[in-house]
Structure 1
Amino acid sequence: MANVNQEGAWAQRAEAEIPTARREEELERALAHGLPGAPTLTDRTIPTFARGELPHFAGERGTFLKCPYVEDVHEVGDAEVAVFGVPLDAGATYRPGTRFGPQGIRRSTNLFGTYSYELGVDLREQLNLVDIGDVFTIPGNLEKSFDQISQAMSHVVQQGTMPVVLGGDHSIGFPTVRGLAAHHEGNIGIIHFDRHVDTQETDLDERMHTTPWFHATNIRNAPATNLVQVGIGGWQAPRAGVKVGRERGTTVITVGDVERVGVERVAETALEIAWQGAEAVYLSFDIDVIDAGFVPGTGWPEPGGLLPREALNLVRLVSEPGLAGIEVVECSPPYDWAEQTALLSARVILDSLAVQVRAGKLGRKAAARPRAAWGPTP
């Protein structure tokens, strides 16, 4: 009788003869350059920042605006602004796909140059901007992913570098603020653009992308009274979250409010509340705040949101006094069309950075040592 598993048996034996030296070198490099993983991870070969084959949805696949890539995150302090991705969609309650958001946003910036005509800024010439790759997230475990994200955020902020985070679903808002707040003595204000309040305690029994601000505003120096939410409305605002915001004293500004009083007045109010008694302000921009007709590639599309021009004008206005960090979340490339959602996600970051450079809040830190020239990542 023929041996039915002849090839299978041979393949098992053959695997034992294949060397593992390069894999071991890769793991060693990942831990050296990407930092050891959060203490809650059992597998101690996993770094904080992905460096190598795993995970397959993260890693070195081009940089934001083709800026220099920093392999060793210990060197991030040489930069003024560091971009990193958080490829996570484990917190999505409806449409997944935001784990591919960092890739999609970076790829969309291939369309842009580094110079803005209206803003009169060239980021290549005026800003020490680098990309440090993606956080190594754990798809099946939100809490371990949160620990990885907080550790990554903390590392960047501790080095004196401004973080720019490419999401990822909006559950990351809690661990990013947690990592940021740990390095500020005073209060952190949060300006949050979204169609959804995201303030309920749990959703589907977990801390999902509908819950970040309940948990972030439990942090001692990130009080709810410094949380301003712009663009809220529609048919996807859970009453449990509305109740929390009412009880904690958050400020909600709807799209109707924007129409009624105008972009300038809304931005003025947002800045006044977010900065009241605070030493720094963080910008969290959920791309679904923009009308769903312009951003099809997102987890919870909601018609009736802001127009792109309104959203970008608001971002410019609230960014001008300077920010402690930026995150853009909920870009889901599998649902996108013609990169519309990714392009708008990138524009939020580019416009925010540019107005901060123009205002003199950024663009004052030269590189401590020569870096690779701007251009395609090797």
Structure 2
Amino acid sequence: MEELRIEANGNLGPIDSSRVPRYAGAATFARLPRLDQVGHADVAVVGVPFDAGVSYRPGARFGGNHVREASRLLRPYNPAWDVSPFEEVQVADAGDMAVNPFNIGEAIETIQANALELTSAGTKLVTLGGDHTIALPLLRAAAARAGEPVAMLHFDAHLDTWDTYFGAEYTHGTPFRRAVEEGILDTEAICHVGTRGPLYGRRDLDDDHRFGFGIVTSADVYYKGVAETVAALRERIGDRPLYVSVDIDVLDPAHAPGTGTPEAGGITSRELLEIIRGLRGLNLAGADVVEVAPAYDHAEITGVAASHTAFELVTLLADNAAPGDRHGQDTGYARQSLDRIRTTAPVAGSQETQESFE
């Protein structure tokens, strides 16, 4: 059957939902063309169906396609930015990486090699996981492309800087410890956002601090508000190449029940989206959305949240890559949205929450 797609500025966009029902046809991300249909993409969405590194509930290997199905409802214009990202640059779905589900070491090598290949012509990636193990090879590739260690914002309920699980060094709870040890993270510009819940001991925080991580807990976001959170994150990152890694369990289980290690007291999907929007203009090198486990996702709540999160990250990358006459426009609804982030008075936090950011 003929694909009836939207085309603008020489870019092939999503299937036109005014002529083809959203529930019909192949489920690429946001109904975008496949990478092989366009030849080159400025931004590519790629899946990594891998969850051999999980420590509790499995199933994230099915997360990428679950997010794609939920993304059928995405529309091409993003009013929070006053941008139609698929018109600004060529965005495509690059399909899934074929990784070994039985050998974590080989899987990590494959992901890194695939990421380097996909970005060889300047393409930026938004990766759909998969468990958080995949962030390490993606960071390796991002740092290699940047030619220097990268800054990172890590949205997660957990630190993911533990040393080993059952003697295994490469799991979904260890990627950022390994990344610091390998020197691929700029330790003056790395921060967790949304962490909460019990830990194994005080040493977890001591180690994390030693690695250079700042911490913005979910309580900090609640007490300080989005405006103050965004301002502090932007100051910490500066103009460095930035990688954003989003574990969907950063959201409260009410907003994301379909994940492997849920924790009570998380941020809302609204807060997550607004924080990402507040990163406009930063030098985003790549991003991932991981730990979506559809078996636990009643009513597709998690898939919807993850698809919108990925859409905001795609918009951020597209905005960065747009031609000079359209790059970084700050008009209309977009200007109002960003002004709201900048000017909304945050709720005064306690001394404890203020110190946790320092």
Report TM bin, short chain: 0.7 to 0.9
> Contact 1:225 / 1:248 at 8 angstroms: preserved in 2?
no
Which of residues 49, 53, 56 is equivalent to 1:87? 49
The equivalent residue for 2:34 is 69
Kindly state the Cα deviation for residue 354 of structure 1 after the two structures are TM-superposed.
Answer: 2.6
The equivalent residue for 1:227 is 190
Cα distance in 2 between the residues matched to 1:223 and 1:241: 20
SS of 2:275's equivalent?
Answer: helix
| 2:134 is the alignment partner of 1:168 | no
SS of 1:166's equivalent?
Answer: strand
> Contact 1:173 / 1:216 at 8 angstroms: preserved in 2?
no
Closer/same/farther in 2, CA of residues 175 and 87 from structure 1, 3 Å limit = same
Closer/same/farther in 2, CA of residues 342 and 139 from structure 1, 3 Å limit = same
Larger radius of gyration: 1
Q: Deviations over 1:280-306 (max 9, x none)?
A: 000001110111111110011111000
Closer/same/farther in 2, CA of residues 238 and 181 from structure 1, 3 Å limit = farther
Q: Deviations over 1:8-56 (max 9, x none)?
A: xxxxxxxxxxxxxxxxxxxxxxxxxxxxxxxxxxxxxxxxxxxxxxxxx
Q: Deviations over 1:57-83 (max 9, x none)?
A: xxx9631111110239xx86x211011
Which of residues 95, 106, 112 is equivalent to 1:133? 95
Q: How many residues align?
A: 299
SS of 1:225's equivalent?
Answer: strand
Cα distance in 1 between the residues matched to 2:118 and 2:317: 19
Matching of residues 95-134 of structure 1 within 5 Å: 95-134=57-96
Moved more, 220-229 or 148-157: 220-229
> Contact 1:199 / 1:242 at 8 angstroms: preserved in 2?
no
The equivalent residue for 1:145 is 107
TM-score in terms of structure 1 length? 0.74
Closer/same/farther in 2, CA of residues 92 and 226 from structure 1, 3 Å limit = same
Q: Where has structure 1 moved over 4 Å in runs of 4 or more?
A: 236-240
SS of 1:107's equivalent?
Answer: helix
Q: Deviations over 1:330-371 (max 9, x none)?
A: 0011111111111111111212333554xx413339xxxxxx
SS of 2:35's equivalent?
Answer: coil
| 2:252 is the alignment partner of 1:291 | yes
Cα distance in 1 between the residues matched to 2:201 and 2:65: 30
SS of 2:177's equivalent?
Answer: helix
| 2:148 is the alignment partner of 1:189 | no
SS of 2:145's equivalent?
Answer: coil
Cα distance in 1 between the residues matched to 2:52 and 2:161: 18
Cα distance in 1 between the residues matched to 2:42 and 2:200: 37
Structure 2, unaligned runs of 5 or more:
1-24, 325-358
The equivalent residue for 1:201 is 163
Q: CA RMSD in A?
A: 2.1
| 2:243 is the alignment partner of 1:282 | yes
**For residue 70 of structure 1, what is the amino acid of its counterpart?**
L
> Contact 1:319 / 1:356 at 8 angstroms: preserved in 2?
no
Matching of residues 1-378 of structure 1 within 5 Å: 62-71=27-36, 78-206=40-168, 207-236=170-199, 241-275=204-238, 279-355=240-316, 357=318, 360-364=319-323
> Identity over the aligned pairs, expressed in percent?
32
The equivalent residue for 1:21 is none
Closer/same/farther in 2, CA of residues 100 and 230 from structure 1, 3 Å limit = same
Kindly state the Cα deviation for residue 255 of structure 1 after the two structures are TM-superposed.
Answer: 1.3
Moved more, 348-357 or 188-197: 348-357
**For residue 321 of structure 1, what is the amino acid of its counterpart?**
L
Structure 1, unaligned runs of 5 or more:
1-59, 366-378
> Contact 1:109 / 1:343 at 8 angstroms: preserved in 2?
yes
Kindly state the Cα deviation for residue 129 of structure 1 after the two structures are TM-superposed.
Answer: 0.1
Cα distance in 1 between the residues matched to 2:79 and 2:240: 32
Q: Deviations over 1:245-282 (max 9, x none)?
A: 1222211111121122221211121222233xx63000
Cα distance in 1 between the residues matched to 2:104 and 2:218: 31
Q: Deviations over 1:153-184 (max 9, x none)?
A: 11122221111100110111111101111122
